[in-house]
């Protein structure tokens, strides 16, 4: 997309009504909106006068929206420009904390902002930094070796053509600085176009965005630290948009809501690792009406858990996804 993009294009919050129905029995307390964005979740929860919101976002460009809510709701709303893995830095009385919300999608305004470079429709320099970053997608593409780029695209993008794409990137960068448009051409030269499927570049761009923003460790440690500050009876609710992040969230809730037996031959015992109550093991999906109004919502899934215990040994959780954390650590080579 060109720099003349309309950044005011309307953004639709996903699964808003469903999220509100989950949180409504808890109203009359403090909620943390870990991914403030355009503030739709926060505004909806603040419609109930007994509620307070503490909103977080790493993207400083959401400040105008946060200032509007500070002006309207005064002491019932506060905003912090931090990553949600830094949630324990908040100075709050946790006994009033009722719920913690994660919406892992990107807003329409963010995607259409050419400076951020999230869209494969841009023609500008590769960026993808969402704030509080150490490097850009341009640096990833031009500074890492074939093996490292291949791992990022293969595992973070779940891209089956990762080797071919990575090889062409490494070859082209010998003579050219690769921008967004050129990266898309590389991907299109490797993959057949299918109008019934997602854009060819989607998975590779997803992979780079995840790597640049360290979204795997952000999600894993954001969930763990949220659990640690949440009182018993509080809710953690997460909206995911692709299979990799949903795999992480599903394991987090499922693994710690069931009795884990070391052997099928041993009798079941009371297990101290029961950390969550799940009202449903299946995710909540957008309605057909919502998908018709907002096509990007079709991939969304909402999962939530109610905290039952103060025990917090998440070694199994970290071990399960250590291979992804190891790929994130490739960034030390940039």
The model's pLDDT over 170-214, given as tens digits with 9 standing for 90+, comes to 999 999 999 999 999 999 999 988 776 789 999 999 999 999 999
Let me know if residue 7 belongs to a domain.
no
83 and 218 in contact (C-beta within 8 Å)? yes
Range of the domain at 306: 16-109+215-313
Alpha carbons 220 and 230: distance in angstroms, whole number:
16
The confidence score (pLDDT) of residue 3 equals: 34
Same domain, 203 and 244: no
CA distances to 192, 226, 263, 321, 326 from 217, rounded to whole Å, are 33, 14, 31, 9, 10
Residue with tokens 């590389």: 186
Residue among 58, 158, 155 at smallest CA distance from 102: 58
The confidence score (pLDDT) of residue 268 equals: 53
Domain boundary, last residue among 212, 247, 280: 212
Same domain, 163 and 177: yes
Distance, first Cα to last Cα, the chain? 28
Same domain, 225 and 168: no
Alpha carbons 153 and 175: distance in angstroms, whole number:
22
Residue among 252, 321, 318, 315 at smallest CA distance from 283: 252
Phi and psi at residue 55, in whole multiples of 5°?
Answer: -105, 140
Q: What is the DSSP letter of 284?
A: B
Let me know if residue 187 belongs to a domain.
yes
Alpha carbons 262 and 270: distance in angstroms, whole number:
13
Let me know if residue 150 belongs to a domain.
yes
Let me know if residue 283 belongs to a domain.
yes
Read off the CATH number of the domain in which 286 is found. Answer: 3.40.50.150
Domain count, the chain: 2
Let me know if residue 9 belongs to a domain.
no
Same domain, 162 and 178: yes
113 and 5 in contact (C-beta within 8 Å)? yes
Share of residues in the chain with pLDDT > 90 (%): 77
Contacts of residue 214, Cβ cutoff 8 Å, sequence gap at least 6: 328, 331
Same domain, 29 and 104: yes
Let me know if residue 73 belongs to a domain.
yes
Same domain, 42 and 176: no
**CB neighbourhood size of 292 (10 A):** 11
Average pLDDT over residues 285-314: 92
The model's pLDDT over 113-133, given as tens digits with 9 standing for 90+, comes to 888 888 888 888 999 999 999
The confidence score (pLDDT) of residue 261 equals: 53
The confidence score (pLDDT) of residue 54 equals: 98
Same domain, 205 and 174: yes
Let me know if residue 127 belongs to a domain.
no
Q: What is the mean pLDDT of the chain?
A: 91
Average pLDDT over residues 84-96: 93
The helix (H) or strand (E) run that includes residue 202 is helix 202-212
CA atoms within 13 A on the CB side of 206: 21
Domain boundary, last residue among 193, 212, 231: 212
Let me know if residue 277 belongs to a domain.
yes
Same domain, 67 and 186: no
Read off the CATH number of the domain in which 185 is found. Answer: 1.10.150.170
Confidence of residue 10 (pLDDT cuts 50, 70, 90): low
The confidence score (pLDDT) of residue 137 equals: 97
Confidence of residue 11 (pLDDT cuts 50, 70, 90): low
302 and 15 in contact (C-beta within 8 Å)? yes
Same domain, 39 and 104: yes
Alpha carbons 260 and 263: distance in angstroms, whole number:
9
Same domain, 195 and 262: no
Same domain, 101 and 247: yes
Domain boundary, last residue among 164, 195, 212: 212
176 and 139 in contact (C-beta within 8 Å)? no
206 and 157 in contact (C-beta within 8 Å)? yes
The radius of gyration of the chain's CA atoms, rounded to the nearest angstrom, is 21
Same domain, 102 and 45: yes
165 and 187 in contact (C-beta within 8 Å)? yes
């Amino acid at each position: 997309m060109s720099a003349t993009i309309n950044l005011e294009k309307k953004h639709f919050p996903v699964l808003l009504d469903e999220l509100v129905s989950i949180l409504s029995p808890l109203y009359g307390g403090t909620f943390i909106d870990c991914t403030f964005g355009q503030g739709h979740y926060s505004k909806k929860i603040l419609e109930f006068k007994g509620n307070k919101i503490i909103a977080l976002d790493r993207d400083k460009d959401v400040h105008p929206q946060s200032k509007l809510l500070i002006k309207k709701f005064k002491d019932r709303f506060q905003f912090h420009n931090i990553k949600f893995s830094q949630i324990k830095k908040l100075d709050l009385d946790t006994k009033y904390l009722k719920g913690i919300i994660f919406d892992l999608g990107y807003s329409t305004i963010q995607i259409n902002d050419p400076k951020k470079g999230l869209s494969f429709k841009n023609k500008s320099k590769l960026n993808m930094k969402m704030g509080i970053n150490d490097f850009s997608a341009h640096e990833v593409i031009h500074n890492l070796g074939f093996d490292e780029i291949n791992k990022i695209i293969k595992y973070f993008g779940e891209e089956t053509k990762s080797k071919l794409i990575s090889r062409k990137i490494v070859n082209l960068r010998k003579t050219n600085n690769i921008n967004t448009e050129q990266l898309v051409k590389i991907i299109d030269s490797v993959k057949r176009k299918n109008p019934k499927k997602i854009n060819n570049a989607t998975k590779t761009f997803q992979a780079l965005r995840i790597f640049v923003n360290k979204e795997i460790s952000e999600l894993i440690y954001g969930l763990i630290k949220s659990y640690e500050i949440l009182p018993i009876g509080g809710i953690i609710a997460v909206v995911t948009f692709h299979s990799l992040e949903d795999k992480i969230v599903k394991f987090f809730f499922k693994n710690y809501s069931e009795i884990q037996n070391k052997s099928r031959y041993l009798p079941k015992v009371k297990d101290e690792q029961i950390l969550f109550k799940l009202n449903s093991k299946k995710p909540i999906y957008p309605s057909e009406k919502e998908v018709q109004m907002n096509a990007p919502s079709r991939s969304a899934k909402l999962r939530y858990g109610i905290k039952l215990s103060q025990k917090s040994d998440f070694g199994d959780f970290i071990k399960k996804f250590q291979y992804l954390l190891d790929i994130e650590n490739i960034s030390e080579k940039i």
